[in-house]
Structure 1
Amino acid sequence: MTTAAAAVAADRADRILAAYLAASDCRAVKVLGKVWK
């Protein structure tokens, strides 16, 4: 595996993680919103 390929893989994993965190964060906010009301 070249360093370039590793960098691309790390970047992709980072984006997937960021998207997952954003989605779970959004879900948590919706759940909290329901509980709050």
Structure 2
Amino acid sequence: MNYNLSHGMLDSCASKSSSIEAENLAREKDELHDLQLR
């Protein structure tokens, strides 16, 4: 599982984005994580 790796990438990406874009990235991450668990 590369959860920590992808999470770090999203964090660095979110720090350069607006808060709205950061929320969208987090939401996409959660959806992808849910799909992986199924």
Q: Bin the TM-score by the shorter chain.
A: 0.5 to 0.7
Amino acid at match of 2:25: A
Bigger relative contact order, structure 1 or 2, given CA contacts below 8 A and separation 6+?
2
% identity of equivalent residues: 18
Which residue of 9, 18, 30 maps to 2:34? 18
Per-residue CA deviation, residues 7-37 of structure 1 (Å, 9 max, x unaligned), is: 0000000000000001xxxxxxxxxxxxxxx
Structure 2 unmatched ranges of 5 or more? 1-16
Count of aligned pairs: 22
Q: Give the 4+ runs in structure 1 shifted more than 2 A.
A: none
CA RMSD of aligned residues (A): 0.4
Structure with greater helix share of residues: 1
TM-score (norm 2): 0.56
Structure number with greater Rg is 1
